[in-house]
């Protein structure tokens, strides 16, 4: 039987590539389509593996006339042109729930790191400090947490926060059915009611710069912002000003605009903690995402039903 050809247009682990290569002819383009394979035969490509950040455009789909399947590695899919896929008869799937527990764990780690000033005090202690870095810092117990977006990841964060004794509220376009935590109508009102504001909503045009100066002003000088969603949701310019002016107490970002290059204006801010878009990465989540990818590729190859199909 002729092996199908798939393009992997994002960085994935060697374990993932190995499993894919045992069943398919794999073209690895970790920097995206058009980034290093000028001889790519578009007529040969049956499937593309991408993610929400890299996506797949209508123009890119047009260059792959035999494309039948797009698999988003992970839960995000905001930059995949679903309308174009439907028009072209290309099926699209993703992998929700494969990394939500890891992302939620990381969100709590960021909340603790920024509120307890762990990174700065670690460095200061290594440089010989002690007495000057033992001042009290805010903690999570008894604090108010606001979550922007209350899907699987937002609710997983809420469960952890409540175990810390936090009081949780959230905002979404409409109240979530079956949810007991208070729903607030918008991000500004949620920020006013929060000591910690966690961004856990999908990316895309509808949420671009949802967290802006008005939201940060409402969060206030004792409030902390955490983003484990997408960089585009937070207005970088407004965040830099809020951190520099101490309009808010601090921020922790796993994602930021302009990834992978950290904006210069953010680099020297002492009240900022950053990690390299790794909230969803753990051995367990990687294994689950690989399994979901392999299963959907196999199902599509056999003409079967896909899990979490989007188009």
Residue 159 bears catalytic tag? no
Range 170-175, long-range pairs (CB < 8 A, 24+ positions): 170/146, 171/146, 171/147, 172/201
Residue 230 bears catalytic tag? yes
Residues 88, 116, 213, 259: which is the catalytic one?
A: 259
To 10 degrees, what angle do helices 118-126 and 100-115 make?
60
Q: Per the structure block, which two tokens stand in for 202?
A: 């999908």
Q: Per the structure block, which two tokens stand in for 196?
A: 């910690």
Please give the C-alpha separations between residue 75 and each of 91, 152, 241, 282, in angstroms, as whole numbers.
16, 10, 31, 15
The answer to whether the bond into 260 is cis (omega within 30° of 0) is: yes
Strand order in the sheet with 196-199: 167-171, 144-148, 196-199, 224-227, 250-253, 272-274
Contact 3, 274 (CB under 8 A): no
Residues 101, 106, 230, 257: which is the catalytic one?
A: 230
The catalytic site residues sit at 230, 259, 277
């Amino acid at each position: 039987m002729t092996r199908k050809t798939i393009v992997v247009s994002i960085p994935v682990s060697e374990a993932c590539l190995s499993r894919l290569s045992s069943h398919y002819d794999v073209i690895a383009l970790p920097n995206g389509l058009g980034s290093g394979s000028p001889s790519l035969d578009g007529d040969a490509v049956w499937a593309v593996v991408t993610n929400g950040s890299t996506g797949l455009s209508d123009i890119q789909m047009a260059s792959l006339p035999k494309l039948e399947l797009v698999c988003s590695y992970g839960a995000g899919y905001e930059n995949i042109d679903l309308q174009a896929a439907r028009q072209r008869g290309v099926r699209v799937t993703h992998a929700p729930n494969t990394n939500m527990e890891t992302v939620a764990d990381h969100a709590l780690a960021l909340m603790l790191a920024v509120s307890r000033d762990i990174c700065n005090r670690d460095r200061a202690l290594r440089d010989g400090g002690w007495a000057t870095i033992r001042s009290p810092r805010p903690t999570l117990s008894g604090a108010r947490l606001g979550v922007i977006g209350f899907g699987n990841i937002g609710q997983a964060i809420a469960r952890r926060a409540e175990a810390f004794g936090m009081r949780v509220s959230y905002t979404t376009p409409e109240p979530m059915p079956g949810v007991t935590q208070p729903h607030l109508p918008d991000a500004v009102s949620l920020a006013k009611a929060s000591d910690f504001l966690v961004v856990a909503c999908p990316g895309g045009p509808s949420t671009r710069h949802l967290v802006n100066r008005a939201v940060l002003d409402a969060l206030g000088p004792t409030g902390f912002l955490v983003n484990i969603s997408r960089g585009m949701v937070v207005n970088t310019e407004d965040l830099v000003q809020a951190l520099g002016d101490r309009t808010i107490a601090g921020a922790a970002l796993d994602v930021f605009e302009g990834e992978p290059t950290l904006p210069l204006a953010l680099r020297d801010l002492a009240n900022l903690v950053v990690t390299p878009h790794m909230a969803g990465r753990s051995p367990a989540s990687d294994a689950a995402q690989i399994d979901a990818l392999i299963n959907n590729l196999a199902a599509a190859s056999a003409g079967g039903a896909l899990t979490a199909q989007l188009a």
